[in-house]
Chain A
Amino acid sequence: MLGFALRRLLSTIPVLWIALTLCFFILRLAPGGPFDEERQLPERILANLRAHYNLDKPLLVQYWDYLTGVLMGDLGPSYITDDFTVVDLISIGLPYTFILGGCAFALAILVGIFAGVIGALNQNTSSDYGIALVVMIGLIVPNFLLAPILQLVFGVSLGWLPVGGWGEGKLSHLVLPVIILALPHVARISRLMRGSMIEVLGANYIRTARAKGIGARLMITRHAIKPALLPVVSYLGPAAGYLLTGSLVVESIFGLPGIGQYFINAALNRDYGMVLGTVIFYMVLIILLNLVVDLVYALLDPKVRAR
């Protein structure tokens, strides 16, 4: 198991390297630079700025500096927010994003799996159709549309929940953002779980379990749920990625001070350093989360572990 984890970890290194190189050169080779504003800066100031951010060195030297910097945990400076490095900004935003994303992830998994099992066990009953309706809404209505609607209903009209802001981490401030971030994944997971659960319930080994007379509860909890979880688990890796991109919108709609906010602002202001740094940080995060998911998958499926 440890060997498996180590092998997977090592295999992510070239992936990260390729992705980093790709992003670096796309940004550097692209027409236009970070200081091309509508207002032309005097040539001397521009040169100073370039020198300050090491942009005057040969490209390969820049690349090498950046690569070694990243290895040391330095993602370079922000070009817009003076005196802050990318790592500074990320570490300011990270806790908020983590809390938001973590809560949404947990909610999506728990509710999604539960709803999927209920749907599969009560196929074509009213509870199944009810779940299917919520799933449809979750899959169809984009978060940037659902958010204002829920804000209007629960925040403005009913006044039950705050419409935005962090509110010193009060739970009530988290409810709407977390639900909106989680809903599409609740939908996906419950759909996956329902489908795979139905498939598993029709499998020969479930018939064997029923023939043994071990009872419906044991049959479902021990024999059906574990194998049915596999497709859900393999979705969790991509889901982590979608959660991060989803948090971009949710953070900006609800005015939460997470990384997503910084990233959007950086992108709108063409802060190349921050954009590149954040993208690389996101990629590392996502690849690590995928690694965790792979390990969980291996725990659930003995066939994978053996390889």
Chain B
Amino acid sequence: MLGSEKRDALVDALEPDHGDGFAPKGRSLTEDAMRRFRRNKAALVSVYVLGALILVSLIGPFFIPFGYEDPDWAAFRLPPDFASGHYFGTDQNGRDMLARTLYGTRVSLMVALVATLVSIVIGVTYGSIAGYLGGRTDAIMMRFVDIMYALPYILFVILLMVIFGRNVILLFIGIGAVEWLTMARIVRGQTLSLREREFIEAARAAGLKPFQIIRRHIAPNLVGPVVIFATLTVPEIIVTESFLSYLGFGVQEPLTSLGTLIAEGADVMEVMPWLLGFPAGFLITMLLTLAFIGDGLRDAFDPKDV
């Protein structure tokens, strides 16, 4: 049965409208998708690189003799240097850039995780309710999403930042609370099609209430698309956080994030390029690997244009 789906595709190409009853599908959808994902070299390498990056940012600080906010009085504005142990150099205040970069990576990742979770919770709840109830409720709920879509959400985040005075926790929640729209759309679409399936009908006939059906029967079937979309949301949130921090609305001293580090580094890039280079490298690596993983997952689960 080697390459059965390829042959299916070929038969379709040969006779578009009646390729009936050819080569049956074996294997489950997820298995197939994972096989396709593993064949995608860029995505696979990205998984390892990103994993290593996360591991280093979590464990690394324990092995560095410098804290991210403690100045080393012996080394101000030090370029990357192995002799002193400041592998990434130090900043104007003598703080170790390796420690700061790792710490910033950690904060950026955390913001992204929390905000993505918030957006998943809101988006899945909203989308599955709209999709399951359908009809007028659905129309009104989705019209609201359309409206929100038209508005630049960064403005709302900035608005929230102005009000809540740059609290990091609220930053997480604020970003998540405005990032749920696409998630809601995807979940709604999936739910709409799930709703028509037999097992939902059966559940309804068995007398389950709508909320029970959503929780027990619909939500589990949404995992695939939600995971794929979440991998696409994470880099977006990392950029948003960096963007806000860069503008001065995000993470504040003494805390730091990649965005804050890049903002500081950009000011002095002519004289101390390492202050920009290392955080920028980390950010780009993260975004690049996440983009490859997201694309890889999407192609694996939806192999239309492969």
Contacts and interface: CB of A to CB of B under 8 A. Distances in A.
Interface of A: 15, 18-19, 23, 26-27, 30-32, 136, 139-142, 144-145, 147-148, 152, 156, 195, 198, 237-238, 241-242, 244-245, 248-249, 252-253, 263-264, 267-268, 270, 272, 275, 279, 282-283, 286-287, 290
22 contacts: A15-B147, A26-B159, A26-B163, A30-B163, A32-B165, A140-B291, A142-B239, A145-B283, A148-B266, A148-B276, A242-B152, A245-B152, A249-B246, A263-B158, A264-B247, A264-B248, A267-B249, A272-B162, A283-B151, A283-B155, A286-B152, A290-B150
A237 B150 contact: yes
B269 interface: yes
Contacts of B253: none
Interface string B254-280: 000001001100100110000010001
B243 A249 contact: yes
Contacts of A19: 147, 151
B75 interface: no
Contacts of A248: 154, 247
A199 to B, nearest CB: 8
Contacts of B165: 32
B287 interface: yes
B199 interface: no
Contact of B161 (A23, A145, A252, A267): A267
Interface string B13-51: 000000000000000000000000000000000000000
B287 A140 contact: yes
Nearest to B154: A245
A93 to B, nearest CB: 15
A23 B291 CA distance: 33
Given A140-B287, A152-B269, A275 B239 contact: no
Nearest to B13: A202
B93 to A, nearest CB: 20
B247 A252 contact: yes
A26 B161 CA distance: 12
B288 interface: yes
A268 B159 contact: no
B211 interface: no
6 tightest A-B contacts by CB? A30-B163, A148-B266, A241-B152, A245-B154, A144-B246, A15-B147
Contact of A286 (B150, B161, B288): B150
